[in-house]
A and B are shown apart, each in its own frame.
Chain A
Amino acid sequence: MLTRGSVAFGVGSAILGGAAAVALTAFILSSAGATTGTLSATVSGTASSPKGLLPHAFLDLSTYPDSEAGSHGSDGGAHPDWVTYGPVTNLRVPAHSLVTVTIKQYDTGGTITNPYFAKVHGTVDGTELIDGKSVTQTDADAVGHTFTIHALPTNQDPLYVSVPLPAVADDAPTSPGSDYPDPHVVTFSFVTGGKGSYIWNCEYPCGDGTYAKFGGPMSTQGYMSGTLTVA
Chain B
Amino acid sequence: MSAAVSDVAPQASTAPTGGGVLRRLNIVTAVWAGSALAAIGWFIAHELWQDGDHGSDQVVLVTLICWSVGFMVGIGAFNGPIGWIRGNDLAHEDELFLAGKDQGIGRYFRFTTDHKVVGIQYLIVTMVLFALGGTLAMLIRTNLISPDSQFLSAQTYNAIVGLHGLIMIIATIIMVTGPFGNFIVPIMIGARDMAFPRLNALSLWLIVAAIPVLFSAAFLGGIPTGWVGYAPLADQAPPGMDAYSIFILIFAVSSAVAGANITTTVLTMRARGMSWRRTPIFVFGTVASVGLALPAFPLFMASQILLQVDRTQGGQFYVASGGGSPWLYANLFWLMGHPEVYVILIPAIAALMELTPVFARKPLFSFNTAVIAIAGIVGLSVMVWAHHMYAAGWAPDLNGPFMLTTEMISVPTGLLFLVILGTLWRGRIWTTVPMLATYAMLWNFIIGGITGIYLSDVPADYALHGSMFVTAHFHYTLMGAGLTGAIGALAYWFPKMTGRMLNERAGYISFWLVQIGFNVTFIGMFAVGLAGQPRRVVTYAHLFAAGNLVSTLGAYCIGIGMLVLLYAIVSSWMHGPIAPANPWGAKTLEWTVPNPIPLENFEVLPVVTEDPYGYGVDEAFLTAELVSGSAPRTASTGSATATQAEVAAGSGQQVATLDREAGQL
A residues contacting B by CB (< 8 A) are 1-2, 6-7, 10-11, 13-15, 17-18, 21-22, 25-26, 28-30, 32-35, 152, 154-155, 197, 199, 209-212, 214-216, 219-221
Contact = CB atoms under 8 A, between A and B. Distances in A.
Nearest to A32: B219
Given A11-B506, A21-B135, A215 B236 contact: yes
B413 interface: no
Nearest to A218: B236
B238 A215 contact: yes
B559 A26 contact: no
Nearest to A90: B153
A14 to B, nearest CB: 4
B160 A29 contact: yes
Given A2-B571, A10-B567, A14-B564, A30 B153 contact: yes
Contacts of A21: 131, 135
A30 B152 CA distance: 7
B218 interface: yes
Contact of B559 (A7, A18, A154, A216): A18
B139 A29 contact: yes
Contacts of B154: 199, 221
Contacts of A215: 236-238
A15 B560 contact: yes
A28 B132 CA distance: 13
A22 B236 contact: no
B156 interface: yes
Interface SS, A side? helix
A223 to B, nearest CB: 11
Contact of A154 (B155, B543, B562, B576): B543
B53 interface: yes
B434 interface: no
14 contacts: A1-B575, A2-B503, A10-B567, A14-B563, A15-B563, A18-B563, A22-B559, A29-B218, A32-B156, A32-B222, A155-B539, A199-B154, A209-B53, A220-B155
A152 B541 contact: yes
B136 A25 contact: yes
B542 interface: yes
B563 A33 contact: no
Interface string B216-230: 001101101000000
A212 B560 contact: no
A211 B235 contact: yes
Q: Considering the complex of A and B, which 6 residue pairs feature the smallest CB-CB distances, nearest first?
A: A211-B236, A211-B235, A215-B236, A14-B567, A18-B563, A14-B563
Contacts of A1: 575, 577
Contact of B159 (A15, A17, A33, A214): A33
Contacts of B571: 2, 6-7, 10
Interface in B136-169: 136, 138-139, 142, 147-148, 150-156, 159-160
A7 to B, nearest CB: 7
Contacts of A216: 238
A215 to B, nearest CB: 4
Contacts of A30: 152-153, 156
A98 B7 CA distance: 71
B375 interface: no
B380 to A, nearest CB: 36
A38 B365 CA distance: 66
Given A155-B147, A211-B232, A33 B237 contact: no
A210 B234 CA distance: 11
B505 interface: yes
Interface string B404-445: 000000000000000000000000000000000000000000
A33 B152 CA distance: 10
B244 to A, nearest CB: 15
B566 interface: yes
B575 A221 contact: no
A26 B218 CA distance: 12
A127 B218 CA distance: 42
B567 A29 contact: no
Nearest to A7: B506
B59 to A, nearest CB: 14
Contacts of A22: 135, 138-139, 142, 559
B541 A155 contact: yes
Given A33-B153, A211-B232, 9 more contacts: A2-B576, A7-B506, A25-B136, A25-B139, A29-B218, A32-B222, A155-B148, A214-B236, A216-B238
A33 B219 CA distance: 8
A33 B155 contact: yes
Contacts of B222: 32-33
A211 B319 contact: yes
A174 B503 CA distance: 74
A210 B236 contact: yes
A212 B233 CA distance: 9
Contact of B155 (A2, A155, A221): A221
Contacts of A15: 560, 563-564
B567 A11 contact: yes
Interface in B556-605: 559-560, 562-564, 566-567, 570-571, 575-577
A29 B222 CA distance: 9
B508 interface: no
Contacts of B559: 18, 22
A7 B153 contact: no
B540 interface: yes
Nearest to A1: B575
Nearest to A213: B236
B135 A25 contact: yes
Contacts of A152: 539-541
Contacts of A220: 155, 221, 238
Nearest to B132: A25
A211 B571 CA distance: 51
A3 to B, nearest CB: 10
Given A155-B542, A211-B236, A26 B564 contact: no
Contact of B153 (A11, A17, A197, A221): A221
Given A22-B139, A154-B543, A14 B232 contact: no
B513 to A, nearest CB: 11
Interface string B365-397: 000000000000000000000000000000000
Interface string B199-224: 00000000000000000001101101
Nearest to B571: A10
A193 to B, nearest CB: 15
A29 B235 contact: no
A52 to B, nearest CB: 28
Contacts of B147: 155
A199 B539 CA distance: 11
B541 A154 contact: yes
A152 B543 CA distance: 12
A180 B613 CA distance: 81
Contacts of B224: 219
A197 B503 contact: no
A177 B138 CA distance: 51
Nearest to A78: B221
Given A155-B147, A215-B237, A35 B153 contact: yes
Contacts of B540: 152
A203 B194 CA distance: 58
B148 A212 contact: no
B232 A29 contact: no
A66 to B, nearest CB: 15
B212 to A, nearest CB: 15
